[in-house]
Structures are given as C-alpha cells and as structure tokens.
Amino acid sequence: ATRLRVLSGIQPTADSFHLGNYLGALRQWVRLQDTHEPFYCVVDLHAITVEQDPKVLRERTRRSAAQLLALGVDPERSALFVQSHVPEHAQLSWVLECLTGFGEASRMTQFKDKASKQGTDRASVGLFTYPVLQAADILLYQAHAVPVGEDQRQHLELSRNLAQRFNNRFGRTFVVPEPHIVKDTAKIFDLQDPASKMSKSASTVNGLVELLEDPKRSAKKVRSAVTDTGRDIIFDPEHKAGVSNLLTIYSALTGRSVDDLVTAYDGKGYGDLKKDVAEVLVEFVTPFQSRVQSYLDDPAELDKVLARGAEQARAVASKTLAAAYDKVGF
Ligand code: ADP
Ligand code: NA
C-alpha cells in the first residue's frame, strides 16, 4: 500500500531547538516515518521574512539539519532537505500569490501579530506572503497530511483554499491537504513562567531548555523551576501549572503516563520530582548532543544527506510545478 505523504518544515532561526519544539513537534516527525511518506524541510526561505545575518543563517540551517538527524529523522525513510535547495518552492509560490486575494492575505492573524511587534510599516512583504509560500511547500509534494498545531490552522486553511481554487479554475492539479492532528503532542511551558509557552523568542533565560546547551545547565533550570507553595504532586494545569509542566515533560521523555507518575510520587516532594526530571532530561540530551556533534564534524556527509534529500524533493516538486505552469499557460 502506498503511504500518505506528509509535509512539515521548521525554521532555522535559533542555534538550538528547544524542548518545546521537540516534544510539541519534532518527536512526531520521527514517529510519522512509521506510517507516512514524509518530506521534511528546513525552511530558510521563510526565515528571511525577518532580517537574518547570512553567516548565522547558514550555520543555523546546518545545525537544524544535524539536530533533525540526531533526533531520528531517517534519510532512508524521509526526504530531508533545505527549502532554498529546491527552487520550485519560490516558483510555485509566485503563481499562488497571484491567486491569493489581498484581503484574504490581510486576514492572517500571525502576520498581524508578528508585524505589530516590529511596526507594520517595517514588516517585509515576504512576511505578509509567508502563508502563501507555506501553501507552495505543501502543495508541491501533493501532501495529504500536514501536522498542525492550533497556531497553524489558519495557514493550512489558506493552503486548502488555494488548492481548491487552482483546481477549480485550471483543472485538478493539487491534492487538497488535510490537517493531521497528532496524538501525544505535549505543550511545554516556560519553567520560570509556566503560564507562558516555552519559546525561543519569548521565554525567560532560565525558563527555556535548549537541546544543545550544557546538560548541566538544563538540569539546573529544571531543579529551579517555578512550582507553587503546595506539596502535592498532582496534574492540575490550571492551579499547578509548574508541577503539571514537569509531569508533562517527565511523561513525554519516559513514555510513562502522567497518572502513573502521580501515583509513583504520592508522598514525595517537589524536590524529588525536579531531581528526577532533571535526570531523565540529561539522559536524553547527552547522547543527542554527541550525535549532533558527529554530523557537524563531518560536513561532507551532512552535505551529501541534504543533497540527496533535495534530489528526492525535486523529483516530486518539479513534476508538480511543470503541471501547474502548463495549466496556467506558461
Ligand atoms: P518558537 O515558538 O520557539 O518560536 P516555532 O514557532 O519555531 O518555535 O515552533 C516550531 C515548532 O515547535 C512548531 O510546530 C510549534 O508548534 C512547536 N512548538 C514551539 N514551542 C512549543 C512549546 N512550548 N510546546 C509545544 N510545541 C511547541
Ligand atoms: Na513562534
């Protein structure tokens, strides 16, 4: 049986992925390899919608790819590539931009949020058309499924609308993608401010766990995580956000259910829980970091993996683009 195609991307906009990226998204990328045919890309075209230093961007793109491989993205089962290596993304994006209404694009709430942070006049046109490029990413691979969190629903809806609009106007060309609601995704919160999600841009210094930082530093952050003045280790995100966040992390990293953990910690204190979470985290990141390092120490091998991924991607993307160009009258 042929497997359903899945497409997902991540921006190379930090030196390291953080624990939220892993437990909320990247872990599912690895799992989807068992059931789907994945196309995974490091979306450097998306990254330049806000200003990037070229040297830093290039380095982060490689580090992102190395981290994905170290987390278990398997080039034998997934096409892993860098978006700018496949020119069809930008080419299809232009066609789709010409099918997108200005008003329609103006309703994208993520643009409004991001643009208002930098002043709408200074925001780039690329940031404005970002969701259209995202549609091109998906439609090029005829992806059936796109793993989405709440924050990406509106963009996926635009991708679906553009696929349908193109198909109606020019004849069937694109698969209309469905959201793939992933089970077992965990939303991870800032360790110091458990009301806010862990985020590379918004987290407090000690509330963010970067997968590539010194594991001792991560352990210390966990041991000094904000909890509450109570004593009971129970899962209650509303009243015990800090403790619940630690239970979520522990459960996600070990596969033990939260209920199991609550039972196991009956009568124990917050200090015991923090110590144990710190320990499982260190056990996870230590071998991860040495795998990342081995990819970074062998740039030729990393280049080879990414070149092969781009080749696999282009084999599909070039066919889709040719069909779309032909339909449009090019
Ligand atoms: P950030 O919020 O740090 O800027 P991104 O927006 O680049 O991270 O997110 C990349 C992926 O990681 C997305 O799929 C996003 O939903 C997921 N993600 C980011 N932060 C978290 C979090 N705290 N908990 C769960 N998933 C997260
Ligand atoms: Na974000």
Provide the pLDDT for residue 1. Answer: 62
Task: Note the pTM of the prediction, 2 decimals.
Answer: 0.96
Distance CA 74, CA 159 (A): 27
Kindly report the protein residue whose alpha carbon is nearest to atom 12 of ligand 1.
Answer: 21
Distance CA 194, CA 285 (A): 22
Asked whether the predicted pLDDT for residue 150 surpasses 80, the reply is no
The position carrying tokens 């080039």 is 75
What are the C-alpha distances in Å from 310 to residues 43, 101, 305, 329? 12, 31, 9, 27
The position carrying tokens 């110590």 is 275
Token pair for residue 115?
A: 């643009």
Task: Identify the bridge partners of residue 81 per DSSP, sorted by sequence position.
Answer: 41
Provide the pLDDT for residue 144. Answer: 94
Any known ligand binding at 200? yes
Kindly report the protein residue whose alpha carbon is nearest to atom 7 of ligand 1.
Answer: 11
Asked whether the predicted pLDDT for residue 182 surpasses 80, the reply is no
Report which ligand 1 atom has the smallest distance to the Cα of 8. Answer: 14
What are the C-alpha distances in Å from 132 to residues 21, 46, 83, 93, 128? 23, 11, 14, 6, 9
pLDDT tens, residue by residue, 187-218: 999 999 999 999 998 888 999 999 999 999 99
Kindly report the protein residue whose alpha carbon is nearest to atom 17 of ligand 1.
Answer: 21
Token pair for residue 92?
A: 């299809």
Closest ligand, as measured to the CA of 152: 1
Asked if this assembly's ipTM is beyond 0.90, the reply is yes
64 CB near ligand 1 (under 6 Å): no
Q: In testing the pocket of ligand 1, which one of 6, 21, 114, 154 has its CB within 8 Å of the most ligand atoms?
A: 21
Is there a contact between 199 and 188 (Cβ–Cβ < 8 Å)? no
Closest CA to 174 of 208, 207, 135, 129: 135
pLDDT tens, residue by residue, 95-128: 999 999 999 999 999 999 888 888 888 899 999 9
Give the distance (Å) from ligand 1 centre to CA of residue 244. 19
Closest ligand, as measured to the CA of 13: 1
Any known ligand binding at 220? no
Give the distance (Å) from ligand 1 centre to CA of residue 167. 32
Give the distance (Å) from ligand 2 centre to CA of residue 200. 8
55 confidence band (pLDDT: 50, 70, 90):
very high
pLDDT tens, residue by residue, 10-48: 999 999 999 999 999 999 999 999 999 999 999 999 999
Task: Identify the bridge partners of residue 8 per DSSP, sorted by sequence position.
Answer: 40
Distance CA 85, CA 108 (A): 27
Is there a contact between 230 and 269 (Cβ–Cβ < 8 Å)? no
Any known ligand binding at 137? yes
Closest CA to 256 of 232, 231, 235, 237: 235
Distance CA 262, CA 231 (A): 12
| Stretch (H or E) spanning 17 | none
Task: Identify the bridge partners of residue 79 per DSSP, sorted by sequence position.
Answer: 39
Report which ligand 1 atom has the smallest distance to the Cα of 197. Answer: 23
Give the distance (Å) from ligand 1 centre to CA of residue 328. 36
Backbone region of residue 73 per phi and psi (left: phi > 0; alpha: psi in -120 to 50; beta: other values): beta
| Stretch (H or E) spanning 47 | helix 44-47
Residues annotated as part of the active site: 114, 197, 200
Closest ligand, as measured to the CA of 46: 1
Instruction: Give the list of residues 6+ apart from residue 152 with CB closer than 8 angstroms, or none.
Output: 146
55-82: b or e for each residue (b if 16 or more CB lie within 10 Å)? eebeebbbbbbbbbbbbbbebebbbbbb
